[in-house]
Amino acid sequence: MKSAWTMLGLMLLGGFLTAAPARAEDAAKQPCDVPAYLLQSDGVLKRVEETVKKGQPLNVLVVGSRSSTIPAQEASAYPAKLQAALKERLPAAVTVNLSVELQPSKTAEDAAGTLVKLVETKRPTLVIWQTGTVDAMRSIDPDDFRSAVDEGVVALQNAGADVVLVNLQYSPRTETMISAPPYLDNLRVVAQQHEVPLFDRFAIMRYWNEAGDFDLFSTSHGVELAKQVHACLGRALSKFVIDAAHLEPAQQN
């Protein structure tokens, strides 16, 4: 059982993002395209909006598991790509600072207890909290998971930070090994209750896989594909953040 759990962890956290080489006829297609409905949110990032409009530094903290990074390739992981995309789209006067807090083995409950201290130390305008993977792998009770996420979001908001929740990665190879829906559903419930934007990474990656942009079922692992998927996620997340902050074209480059 332990070896099976370890294998699943490697598949999820080590980067199962692999694919066959792109076909020449697909060269004109943009694999980063995301349907508008997957980037819609009722949540609003008011502090981000105010910060950008005032031309103040935008401090972003990403809290997540190992799927937030690519081993030895941090500059190619989605947080770095998010930072670059935000710098490109926001006014030059706005400095974008981004830091990553990896918590590879922590459940939502474990992470929730560290969030206030992180905010006090790093003073972020925006916290992007990626959660659910470890809980799903350990089959944590979904109600306990929801309570932990709820507690964490409330703590972050009370500490003065905007929050974006990010759900699990999608992999067709692990669908029979873990049950993702209860954790996806509970994240959505918490997001709606607290009017927090939820970046649906799971649905976006599933769309790319089903559209043939990336073959996430492949058994051959490759860093180059991981870089491509992370780059796409970073760009999509930057648009998601800017739209949730209700920034008009005048506030962007």
Asked whether residue 251 carries a pLDDT value surpassing 70, the answer given is no
Partners of residue 130 on adjacent β-strands: 166
Asked whether residue 19 carries a pLDDT value surpassing 50, the answer given is no
Whole-angstrom Cα distance, residue 123 to residue 104?
A: 22
DSSP secondary structure string for all residues of 15-79: -----PPPPGGGTTS-TT---GGGG--S---HHHHHHHHTT--EEEEEEE-GGG--TT-GGGSHH
Whole-angstrom Cα distance, residue 253 to residue 246?
A: 15
Mean pLDDT across the chain:
84
With contact defined as beta carbons under 8 Å apart, do 150 and 192 qualify?
Answer: no
In a domain, 201, yes or no: yes
Rg of the chain (C-alpha set): 17
- Report which residue type is found at 184: L
State the residue range of the domain holding 196: 40-251
Helix (H, G, I), strand (E, B) or coil at 145: helix
Partners of residue 199 on adjacent β-strands: 166
In a domain, 189, yes or no: yes
Q: Say how many domains are in the chain.
A: 1
Q: Which of 70, 63, 69 is nearest to 108 (CA)?
A: 63
pLDDT given at position 211: 82
- Identify the band that residue 173 occupies on the pLDDT scale cut at 50, 70 and 90: confident
In a domain, 8, yes or no: no
In a domain, 30, yes or no: no
In a domain, 125, yes or no: yes
CATH number, domain of 108, equals: 3.40.50.1110
pLDDT given at position 220: 54
- Extract the tokens encoding 218: 């492949």
In a domain, 12, yes or no: no
pTM to 2 decimal places: 0.85
In a domain, 19, yes or no: no
Q: Which of 172, 175, 82 is nearest to 130 (CA)?
A: 82
